[in-house]
């Protein structure tokens, strides 16, 4: 097998997987893969290669600014009548392709020109019609000067025409063509736009020929005049940064341009093909150059350039994705951390005193024997503990000012959760102003809507795990404090009503608006509160242990509640984007990119 063809097949197989996966990743990330440098060239040339038969097909495009004579040269090379010259510009609004008779097949041509709608050229004036940007008009020509390959010649609209849609058509075909015949007239060769497009052609083409048209014969020897222009172009190009870019072979774009063959043609009232001559008379003529094209070698080079460009672009794209993912990750983790701090602060600043008293009395009554329970009942209010029981009853009813007030837990939590969903977005809006705009994730309208929906919900009911552990502690306490346990068993059930269970002590005593206070401050501790009921009954160790378990459990319940009921709604774009990017096969695509570059290096050496 031809060495170049073998390299093409290896690269093409790898490129197919690379293109498929790259498109999947790019589209999932909200990026059009067509915006990646080299992508469209690789996609189109790869798709075209898959349609190759035994005889290679090369595409050569005539490329240049308005008035450079592209259509005239196209007509001379192919014999196909297309609009040329005249004062009305642009002459061409559609691409026109000349194909050998063996390729006169719209289906095969459609495969060779992905994204194009191939239509037979019937009238030359159809080329002036711009009704369909994807339309490619084609006609057959006698390619007697080409052997061993199918050569398709394409005339494209001017890249600097007043019709800007023409620029896209020219660039579109440049991505597909392996060979570029760059045409320019003397007064335009150094124009910024022309030089910019020449750099583009040197970067994307596999082979380039430079043709200076309409050289004034009255200036002297047209070849000498063209030589001056060519040398001046090379001198200027050597100092232009864009020409220092590297091709897949390692050579610079400047070196590629300098090694390309340059031609000229004098200005003539009757242009003819034999008037196109090489500036260096020792070099082959244009027809000889076209006839001598090495199909497989140029096809390989035509894949190498966009493959390397696409691999590099994908590397940059993956780097951008990694940076974007890191930003999303840091922001997501920051929001989750602050929400967790709020949940902890809410849980740490409330002590479930009512429920702890209730289960303490329940455990005391459960351990009192039936006989003792019966004989003690008449003496419940007459015992020495009667005053303590009345004090406890007054406190539970909110009638004692010398004890920390009890509050209804759900109402307290609702108020503090409300503070959380008010304060947190304001912090994030200040930290990330890029998310604040009218359509931003943290826009005022979105924050308000999330708050309204959240306030329709009720906080989750506390679990019973902390209670179960507290009951175990009370078993030990009851054995060690039999008298006090007996006394608590005499507390009338009417005092410890069902409403007692929802009462909590508010440990937030610093004043001001509630916020996610530093939890290491020691403020939110039952040990710092004078709860006489627990002190007088040797229950402080039980209370402290119960509070620690409560803090952990309740924070663990409020944290996911805040996230699922509020933050997941408000921060949906951030969190779903993070999950999406983390789920993309980025490493696999990076591995394919590395393999592409290795294949390009191997193919360039070949």
Rounded to 10 deg, the angle between the 39-49 and 164-176 helix axes is 50
pLDDT category at 579 given cuts 50, 70, 90 is very high
- How many structural domains does the chain have? 2
Give the pLDDT score at 161: 62
Give the pLDDT score at 522: 44
Span 42-87, pLDDT tens digits: 888 888 777 665 577 889 999 999 889 998 999 999 988 887 655 4
Q: Peptide bond preceding 258: is omega within 30 degrees of 0, i.e. cis?
A: no
Q: How is residue 470 written in tokens?
A: 């507290």
Instruction: Select from 250, 268, 293 the last residue of a domain.
Output: 293
Instruction: Select from 274, 293, 312 the last residue of a domain.
Output: 293
pLDDT above 50 for 455: yes
Spatial separation of the C-alpha atoms in residues 341 and 571, rounded to whole Å: 17
Together in a domain, 379 and 516 = yes
pLDDT category at 444 given cuts 50, 70, 90 is very high
Average confidence score pLDDT of the chain: 86
Give the pLDDT score at 370: 42
Together in a domain, 356 and 268 = no
What number is the average pLDDT over the span 568-594?
Answer: 96
> For every residue of 130-188, which 3-state class applies, written as one string?
CCCCCEEEEEEECCCCCCCCEEEEEECCCCCCCCHHHHHHHHHHHHHCCEEEEEECHHH
Give the pLDDT score at 374: 43
Residue 452 has a CB neighbour count (10 Å cut-off) of 9
Together in a domain, 365 and 506 = yes
pLDDT above 90 for 406: no
Structural domain boundaries enclosing 204: 51-293
Distance of CA 197 to the CA centre of its chain: 30
pLDDT above 80 for 510: no
Phi-psi category of 38—alpha, beta or left, where left has phi over 0 and alpha has psi -120 to 50? Answer: left
Together in a domain, 388 and 453 = yes
Residue 421 has a CB neighbour count (10 Å cut-off) of 20
Give the pLDDT score at 332: 98
Would 589 be classed as within a structural domain? Answer: no
pLDDT above 90 for 518: no
Spatial separation of the C-alpha atoms in residues 21 and 26, rounded to whole Å: 9
- Which one has a higher pLDDT value, 228 or 493? 228
Would 21 be classed as within a structural domain? Answer: no
Would 580 be classed as within a structural domain? Answer: no
pLDDT above 70 for 32: yes
Q: At 368, phi and psi to the nearest 5?
A: -80, 130
- Which one has a higher pLDDT value, 157 or 555? 555
Together in a domain, 261 and 364 = no
Q: How is residue 137 written in tokens?
A: 């008009």
Spatial separation of the C-alpha atoms in residues 330 and 65, rounded to whole Å: 49
Give the pLDDT score at 103: 85
Spatial separation of the C-alpha atoms in residues 582 and 107, rounded to whole Å: 41
| Count of positions (residues) in the chain | 606
Q: Which residues contact 353 (CB under 8 A, 6 or more apart)?
A: 406, 503, 504, 505, 531, 543
What number is the average pLDDT over the span 233-256?
Answer: 94
What number is the average pLDDT over the span 321-344?
Answer: 97
Instruction: Select from 275, 293, 311 the last residue of a domain.
Output: 293
What number is the average pLDDT over the span 340-348?
Answer: 94
- How far, CA to CA in Å, does 68 sit from each of 205, 213, 523? 20, 7, 84
In which element (H, E) is residue 504 found?
strand 503-506
pLDDT above 50 for 377: no
Whether residue 300 contacts residue 290, with contact meaning beta carbons closer than 8 Å, is answered with no
Task: Check the CA dihedral 19-21-26-28 and report its sign.
Answer: positive
Would 168 be classed as within a structural domain? Answer: yes
pLDDT above 60 for 589: yes
Give the pLDDT score at 367: 81
Spatial separation of the C-alpha atoms in residues 529 and 507, rounded to whole Å: 8
Look at residue 350 and give its three-state secondary structure. strand
Spatial separation of the C-alpha atoms in residues 294 and 10, rounded to whole Å: 19
What number is the average pLDDT over the span 109-122?
Answer: 85
pLDDT category at 521 given cuts 50, 70, 90 is very low
Q: How is residue 559 written in tokens?
A: 């944290």
Q: Which residue in 171, 182, 199, 207 sits closest to 34, CA to CA?
A: 171
Whether residue 137 contacts residue 19, with contact meaning beta carbons closer than 8 Å, is answered with no
Would 321 be classed as within a structural domain? Answer: no
> For every residue of 248-305, which 3-state class applies, written as one string?
CCCCEHHHHHHHCEEEEEECCCCCCHHHCEECCCCCCCHHHHHHCCCHHHHHHHHHHH
pLDDT above 90 for 424: yes
- Which one has a higher pLDDT value, 177 or 404? 177
Give the pLDDT score at 380: 44
Would 46 be classed as within a structural domain? Answer: no
Give the pLDDT score at 508: 81
Spatial separation of the C-alpha atoms in residues 114 and 591, rounded to whole Å: 27
Together in a domain, 122 and 206 = yes
pLDDT above 70 for 524: no
Spatial separation of the C-alpha atoms in residues 73 and 93, rounded to whole Å: 17
Phi-psi category of 161—alpha, beta or left, where left has phi over 0 and alpha has psi -120 to 50? Answer: beta
- Read off the CATH number of the domain in which 133 is found: 3.40.50
Spatial separation of the C-alpha atoms in residues 233 and 510, rounded to whole Å: 78
Give the pLDDT score at 487: 83
Q: How is residue 109 written in tokens?
A: 């041509």
- pTM for the whole thing? 0.74
Together in a domain, 428 and 533 = yes
CB half-sphere exposure, 464, CA atoms < 13 A: 5
- Which one has a higher pLDDT value, 255 or 47? 255
Spatial separation of the C-alpha atoms in residues 97 and 95, rounded to whole Å: 7
Rounded to 10 deg, the angle between the 39-49 and 295-348 helix axes is 130
What number is the average pLDDT over the span 122-143?
Answer: 79
Give the pLDDT score at 130: 64
Q: Which residue in 335, 168, 195, 166 sits closest to 253, CA to CA?
A: 195
pLDDT category at 530 given cuts 50, 70, 90 is low
Give the pLDDT score at 382: 41
Look at residue 247 and give its three-state secondary structure. coil
pLDDT above 70 for 593: yes
Together in a domain, 110 and 226 = yes
Phi-psi category of 511—alpha, beta or left, where left has phi over 0 and alpha has psi -120 to 50? Answer: left
Would 30 be classed as within a structural domain? Answer: no
Q: Which residue in 174, 141, 139 sits closest to 157, CA to CA?
A: 174
Give the pLDDT score at 567: 98
Q: Which residues contact 334 (CB under 8 A, 6 or more apart)?
A: 431
Of 83-97, 249-263, 302-316, the range with the highest mean pLDDT is 249-263
Distance of CA 602 to the CA centre of its chain: 32
pLDDT above 60 for 495: yes
Whether residue 473 contacts residue 545, with contact meaning beta carbons closer than 8 Å, is answered with yes
Together in a domain, 272 and 359 = no
- Which one has a higher pLDDT value, 582 or 146? 582
Together in a domain, 169 and 250 = yes
Together in a domain, 287 and 382 = no
Together in a domain, 359 and 461 = yes
Lowest mean pLDDT among 241-245, 377-381, 558-562: 377-381
Spatial separation of the C-alpha atoms in residues 179 and 289, rounded to whole Å: 11
Would 14 be classed as within a structural domain? Answer: no
Give the pLDDT score at 385: 57
């Amino acid at each position: 097998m031809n060495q170049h063809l073998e390299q093409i097949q290896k690269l093409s197989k790898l490129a197919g997987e690379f293109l498929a996966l790259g498109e999947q990743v790019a589209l999932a990330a909200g990026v059009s893969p067509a915006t990646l440098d080299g992508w469209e060239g690789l996609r189109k040339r790869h798709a075209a290669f898959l349609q190759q038969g035994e005889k290679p097909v090369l595409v050569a495009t005539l490329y240049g600014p308005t008035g450079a004579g592209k259509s005239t040269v196209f007509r001379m090379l192919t014999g196909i009548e297309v609009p040329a010259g005249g004062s009305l510009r642009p002459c061409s609004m559609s691409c026109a392709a000349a194909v050998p008779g063996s390729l006169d097949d719209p289906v095969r041509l459609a495969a060779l020109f992905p994204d194009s709608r191939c239509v037979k050229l019937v009238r030359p004036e159809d080329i002036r019609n711009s009704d369909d940007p994807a339309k490619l008009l084609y006609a057959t020509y006698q390619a007697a000067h080409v052997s061993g390959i199918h050569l398709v010649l394409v005339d494209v609209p001017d890249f600097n025409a007043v019709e800007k849609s023409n620029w896209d058509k020219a660039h579109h075909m440049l991505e597909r063509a392996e060979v570029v015949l760059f045409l320019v007239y003397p007064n335009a060769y150094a124009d910024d736009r022309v030089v910019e497009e020449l750099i583009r052609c040197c970067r994307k083409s596999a082979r380039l020929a430079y043709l200076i048209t309409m050289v004034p014969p009255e200036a002297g020897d047209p070849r000498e005049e063209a030589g001056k222009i060519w040398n001046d172009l090379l001198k200027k190009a050597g100092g232009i940064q864009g020409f220092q870019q590297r091709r897949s072979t390692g050579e610079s774009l400047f070196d590629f341009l300098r090694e390309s063959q340059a031609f000229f043609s004098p200005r003539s009232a009757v242009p003819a093909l034999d008037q196109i001559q090489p500036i260096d008379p020792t070099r082959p003529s244009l027809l000889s150059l076209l006839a001598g094209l090495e199909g497989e070698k140029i096809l390989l080079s035509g894949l190498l350039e966009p493959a390397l460009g696409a691999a590099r672009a994908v590397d940059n794209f993956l780097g951008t994705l990694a940076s974007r993912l890191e930003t999303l990750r840091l922001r997501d983790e920051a929001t989750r951390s602050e929400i967790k701090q709020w949940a902890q602060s809410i849980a740490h600043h409330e002590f479930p005193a009512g429920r702890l008293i209730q289960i303490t009395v329940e455990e005391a009554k459960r351990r009192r024997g039936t006989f003792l329970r019966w004989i003690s009942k008449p003496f419940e209010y007459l015992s020495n503990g009667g005053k303590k029981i009345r004090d406890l009853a007054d406190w539970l009813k909110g009638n004692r000012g010398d004890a920390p007030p009890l509050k209804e837990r759900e109402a307290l939590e609702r108020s503090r959760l409300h503070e959380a969903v008010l304060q947190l977005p304001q912090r994030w809006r200040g930290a990330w102003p890029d998310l604040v705009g009218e359509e931003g994730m943290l826009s005022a309208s979105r924050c308000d809507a999330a708050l309204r929906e959240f306030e329709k919900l009720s906080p989750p009911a506390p679990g019973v795990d902390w209670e179960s552990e507290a009951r175990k502690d009370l078993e030990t306490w009851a054995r060690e404090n039999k008298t006090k346990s007996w006394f608590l068993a005499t507390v009338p059930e009417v005092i410890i009503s069902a409403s007692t269970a929802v009462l909590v002590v508010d440990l937030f005593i610093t004043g001001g608006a509630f916020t996610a206070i530093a939890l290491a401050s020691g403020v939110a501790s039952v040990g710092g509160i004078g709860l006489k009921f627990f002190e007088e009954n040797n229950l402080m160790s039980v209370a402290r242990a119960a509070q620690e378990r409560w803090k952990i459990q309740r924070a663990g319940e409020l944290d996911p509640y805040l996230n699922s009921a509020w933050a997941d709604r408000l921060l949906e774009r951030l969190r779903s984007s993070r999950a999406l990017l983390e789920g993309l096969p980025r490493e696999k695509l990076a591995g394919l990119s590395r393999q592409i570059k290795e294949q390009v290096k191997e193919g360039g050496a070949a």
